[in-house]
Structure 1
Amino acid sequence: MRLSRSMLSLAAVAALTAGSTAVLASPASAAPNTTPQKVCGSSYKTVNSAAVGSLGTVYLTYNATNGRNCVATIRKSPGTAVDMSAWEYVADTDQGDSDYGTYTSYAGPTSVYGKAHCVDWGGSIKNVYVSVYGSNCAALREHRVTTVR
């Protein structure tokens, strides 16, 4: 499933970059009690989160063993497939990962090496978009933006 979702993500990003509209119909199927650890893996601990309006939450997780971050956007009430996304970017290393598609329960996981680096991350459900910039940077203050389109 991960390979398929990665390929769909890559196709979606390429289509959006070219100005096309991508239609992805490979919904994730997860129980209503999905957690970031079920999406990212049990060794990932939640280090930050942001509400996506009243629709769900986007989670930033971290695995201390391998130094990788993972982002998952999880719906509060799974159901009919809707547009969703999860993304993260580490500016210091110019590395990022994203998952955009039409899903029933969650978007993600994404994975980027982030040990000792600031992380930009976010996600969306339907028309609500959340972005967090400069996150987990020790004494620096992060900047959160929520947009409804």
Structure 2
Amino acid sequence: MRMRRLCSIAATLGLAVAGLAVSASTASAAASYNGACGSGYGVIGSKYVGDGRTFLTYNSSTGYNCVVTVSDTPGVAMYMEARLRLHRTDTVWKASEMDTGTYTQYAGPVYLYAKGSCIDYGGAANSSYTRIDYGVHCG
């Protein structure tokens, strides 16, 4: 009886470890910031946006924000968006506030001087739905 119980515990632990290994490999496939905004920009926010991730960056020496959406599957052409604007309540985005199209790596970068202001940012990757955060990163 004791031997059967030990085998059961070992099997359970083996499944748990296997699950952790699968989770770790899935997480490593997720998009990471690619440095497309240039030197001096650090990531201050990000969000999953379908088959990719949108990164909000800030350069404290210049007061500029930058947004880029990076694909989870580099090399695969898909519709992508990167959006950035000063915070406001209307729903219309100007062409200069976004980069949209079919890309294989990333959309953006989109830059905006926003020192002392709140911003709206978001994106999409292989999705008809654009995820946006409104009135964030004020300062």
1:12 matched to which residue of 2? none
Match of 2:46 among 49, 64, 73: 49
C-alpha separation in 1, matches of 2:62 and 2:40: 10
More helix by share: 2
The change in CA–CA distance for 1:99 and 1:133 in structure 2 (over 3 A counts) is same
Answering whether residue 123 of structure 2 is matched by residue 123 of structure 1, we say: yes
Higher Rg: 2
Shift of 1:37: 5.3
Provide the aligned C-alpha RMSD in A: 2.5
Paired residues of 2:82 and 2:109 also in contact (CA < 8 A): yes
Q: Does 1:84 align with 2:85?
A: no
C-alpha deviations, 1:30-52, integer Å up to 9, x for none? xx998545210121010111111
Question: 1:89-146, CA deviations, whole angstroms, 9 ceiling, x for partnerless residues?
Answer: 1037x986210111001000000001111000101111142111011136xxxxxxxx
Stretches (4+) displaced over 6 A: none
Q: Which runs of 5+ in 1 are unaligned?
A: 1-31, 139-149
Question: Which structure: greater strand fraction?
Answer: 1
TM-score w.r.t. the length of structure 1 is: 0.62
1:38 and 1:129 map into 2 onto residues whose CA distance is: 22
Give yes or no for contact 2:87–2:134 (8 Å, CA) kept in 1. Answer: no
Letter in 1 for 2:74: P
Q: CA deviation at 1:77?
A: 1.6
Identity across the alignment (%): 38
Residues 95-104 or 71-80, more deviating: 95-104
Alignment partner of 1:74 out of 57, 70, 75: 70
Taking structure 2 as the reference length, the TM-score comes to: 0.67
Count of matched residue pairs: 105
The AA in structure 1 aligned to 2:138 is: C
